[in-house]
């Protein structure tokens, strides 16, 4: 794809550019947002932005020449109006008008996220072929969801190749910095804002082994060594790239051409003069040293090996295992209307709209979807006595289709009603004639009476497949309604996590994984499930459902069933393997947990 690279001058946005190139994409332009020039006085060195790195913004114009790429810039005129973790755009794109008219808008009127809109639209006008945008988000859901919101609205595919990098093999946050060092990235610390980092860290190369060790030691000493701290993910420090394999010229700042301003526990680097210098040589093979995270987690590579080594199951027919709804007998006779109520959830099952309900109504799949969603919303309203329930309270949906060819039509209707910051997690399966006669769409929904949290990643990365529809990877809700007891409120209770259906897409390319056939696909789909579980702090899996196509091309139905069962058992067994612990520690293992 043709990528617009968002750059702040920091290490992450530049390293993300390298991963875009390594994955076969082309960078067509650079984009940057910076503090506006006030009517009187100089432009501030840094502003209190929740979204953008602004320290060092005066250096940014040099990158256009250093990278030999066009640079487009935009004033930050908005403020942090919407500060919730997951961004939801409300209203139409602002009518920005002229630059002077934009500057008149106050920070209380427009969120700073929306400053990206005119910037990206301007670049798309100049480069119509641009169809993607890259960001350096690693662990910041705040930043990632805001870029995704704007990118998708202006027709760009979001790339966040560094997303969840510390949780990918080899599972070390410092590995990202060592990977940057391996390709020759030189990124200097230009701002510190952590008690563990003093003025002596300013202008240190963060991609240097000695600096990395100093960072780890300093963070640990001040109790700030949590995931992301060594990477500056919590705002502990900011960086400025001075050299790298994709820079044709390097940034030159002489020793006497910068100073440090310290106040209020932070230190900021200030440049007096910076220039570009020609490089003696450029390493054309630097990208060969760029490490891409392994596709497989260690434990899932073991699962894959287990599946590949399964014995072949020979059968004379592909249909020996019959579905319980053969010829739709099961589907015609079971109760499709019973609503299940618990203190925390409402389960609305198996909503349908028959084609033959009204002879004058063709009731195509899209029309059926409209009727079903209207019925669902009315059902939610009927159980609204003690809670202010809306479609926002829907947390999980199972969508059954007669034919996947109708998915686009159905999804278009679905997205108009259920597109939100954290839409329900969803499983979508085409099941052919298993659906009752006259039914092309069947929907079941779980509605929560309590507040939900979502994991909704729409960017391509190495982590797990990006969502390509209006659904979240996972939605978490309390198992019981929130209590008014202050003592209980201080203790977070157990959560139920509803995870979306996973298919074996390679996350970085979003292409189907084909190696090892069905067995490889089983292991990869299950790994996606597990990674989502880790990101949402899942400790126990209560159940899993494997949907297996009858058109499995590399093995018999029996082999497919055996592979799914074996994979599920193998990954659970791998978490219960004996370790080199003392006898006393082994006695603390609950026998029920070990067995189940």
d(C-alpha 63, C-alpha 53), whole Å: 16
CB 187 within 8 A of CB 484: no
Residues 6 or more apart in contact with residue 591 via CB below 8 angstroms: none
Residue 201, pLDDT score: 95
- For 250, the token pair is 């390097």
Residue 447, pLDDT score: 95
CB 152 within 8 A of CB 469: no
Residue 493, pLDDT score: 81
Q: In terms of DSSP H, where are the helices of 28-140? A: 61-67, 99-104, 116-126
Q: What is the dihedral angle through the alpha carbons of 455, 459, 461, 463, rounded to the nearest 10 degrees?
A: 10
Residue 499, pLDDT score: 97
Which residue reads 């259906």 in tokens? 501
Give me the domains of the chain, ranges plus CATH numbers: 2-289 (3.40.50.620), 294-316+502-596 (no CATH), 319-500 (3.30.1330.40)
| Residue 6 main-chain phi, psi, to 5 deg | -75, 125
Residue 337, pLDDT score: 63
Helices 174-182 and 209-221 cross at an angle (nearest 10°) of 170
Around Cβ 378, how many Cβ atoms within 10 Å?
9
CB 449 within 8 A of CB 402: no
User: What 8-state DSSP symbol labels residue 530?
Assistant: H
Statement: the pTM of the whole predicted model exceeds 0.85 = yes
Residue 592, pLDDT score: 46
CB 518 within 8 A of CB 563: yes
Around Cβ 540, how many Cβ atoms within 10 Å?
9
Distance of CA 117 to the CA centre of its chain: 21
Residue 417, pLDDT score: 87
Give the residue from 10, 121, 118, 137 showing the smallest Cα distance to 74: 118
Residues 6 or more apart in contact with residue 383 via CB below 8 angstroms: 339, 341, 346, 389, 447
pLDDT tens by residue, the chain, 596 residues: 999 999 999 999 999 999 999 999 999 999 999 999 887 778 888 888 889 999 999 999 999 999 999 999 999 999 988 889 998 887 654 454 544 454 455 556 789 999 999 999 999 999 999 999 999 999 999 999 999 999 999 999 999 999 999 999 999 999 999 999 999 999 999 999 987 898 999 999 999 999 999 999 988 876 655 678 899 998 899 999 999 998 999 999 988 889 999 888 889 999 888 999 998 776 667 788 999 999 999 999 999 999 999 987 765 444 444 555 444 454 555 556 688 888 889 999 999 988 765 556 668 999 999 999 999 999 888 877 756 888 999 999 999 999 999 999 999 999 988 888 899 999 999 989 888 888 999 999 999 988 899 999 999 999 999 998 899 999 999 987 555 555 555 566 889 999 999 999 999 999 999 999 999 999 999 999 999 999 999 999 998 999 988 766 778 888 999 999 999 999 998 865 554 444 443 444 444 455 44
């Amino acid at each position: 794809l043709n990528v617009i690279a968002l750059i702040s001058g920091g290490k992450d946005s530049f390293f993300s550019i390298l991963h875009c190139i390594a994955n076969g994409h082309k960078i067509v332009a650079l984009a940057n947002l910076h503090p506006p020039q006030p009517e009187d006085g100089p432009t501030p060195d840094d502003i209190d932005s929740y979204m953008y790195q602004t320290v060092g913004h005066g250096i940014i114009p040099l990158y256009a020449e250093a990278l030999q790429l066009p640079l487009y810039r935009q004033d930050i005129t908005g403020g942090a109006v919407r500060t919730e973790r997951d961004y939801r755009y409300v209203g139409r794109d602002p009518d920005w008008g002229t630059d002077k008219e934009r500057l008149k808008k106050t920070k209380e009127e427009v969120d700073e996220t929306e400053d990206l809109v005119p910037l990206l639209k301007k670049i798309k006008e100049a480069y119509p072929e641009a169809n993607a945008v890259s960001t350096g988000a690693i662990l910041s859901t705040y930043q990632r969801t805001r870029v995704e919101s704007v990118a998708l609205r202006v027709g760009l595919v979001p790339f966040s190749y560094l997303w969840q990098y510390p949780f990918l093999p080899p599972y070390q946050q410092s590995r990202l910095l060592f990977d940057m060092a391996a390709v020759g990235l030189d990124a200097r610390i230009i701002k510190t804002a952590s008690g563990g980092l003093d003025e002596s860290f300013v202008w240190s190369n963060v991609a240097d082994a000695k600096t990395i060790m100093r960072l780890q030691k300093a963070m640990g000493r001040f109790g700030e060594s949590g995931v992301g701290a060594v990477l500056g993910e919590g705002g502990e420090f900011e960086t400025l790239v001075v050299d790298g394999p994709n820079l044709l010229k390097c940034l030159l700042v002489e020793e006497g051409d910068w100073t440090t301003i310290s106040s209020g526990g932070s230190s900021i680097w200030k440049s007096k003069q910076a220039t570009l210098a020609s490089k003696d040589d450029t390493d054309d093979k630097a990208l060969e040293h760029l490490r891409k995270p392994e596709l497989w987690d260690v434990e899932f590579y073991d699962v894959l090996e287990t599946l590949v080594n399964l014995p072949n199951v020979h059968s004379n027919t592909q249909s020996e295992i019959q579905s319980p709804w053969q010829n739709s007998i099961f589907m015609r006779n079971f109760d499709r209307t019973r609503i299940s109520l618990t203190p925390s959830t409402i389960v609305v099952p198996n909503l349908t709209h028959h084609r033959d309900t009204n002879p004058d109504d063709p009731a195509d799949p899209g029309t059926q979807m409209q009727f079903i969603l209207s019925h669902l919303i009315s059902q939610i309203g009927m159980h609204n006595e003690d809670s202010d329930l809306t479609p926002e309270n829907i947390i999980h949906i199972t969508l059954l289709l007669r034919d996947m060819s109708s998915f686009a039509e159905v999804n278009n209707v679905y997205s108009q009603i259920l597109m939100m910051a954290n839409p329900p997690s969803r499983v979508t399966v085409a099941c052919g004639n298993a659906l009752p006669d006259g039914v092309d769409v069947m929907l079941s929904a779980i509605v929560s009476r309590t507040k939900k949290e979502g994991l909704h990643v729409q960017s391509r990365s190495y982590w797990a497949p990006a969502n390509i529809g209006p659904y979240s990877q996972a939605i978490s809700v309390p198992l019981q309604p929130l209590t008014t007891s202050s003592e209980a409120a201080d203790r977070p209770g157990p959560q139920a996590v509803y995870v979306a259906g996973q298919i074996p897409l390679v996350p970085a390319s979003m292409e189907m994984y084909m190696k090892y056939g069905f067995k490889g696909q089983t292991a990869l789909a299950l790994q996606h499930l597990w990674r989502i579980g880790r990101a949402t702090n899942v400790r126990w899996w209560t159940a899993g459902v494997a949907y297996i196509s009858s058109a499995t091309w590399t093995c018999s139905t029996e082999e497919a069933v055996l592979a799914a069962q074996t994979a599920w058992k193998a990954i659970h067994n791998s978490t219960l393997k004996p370790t080199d612990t003392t006898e006393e520690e082994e006695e603390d293992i609950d026998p029920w947990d070990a067995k189940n």
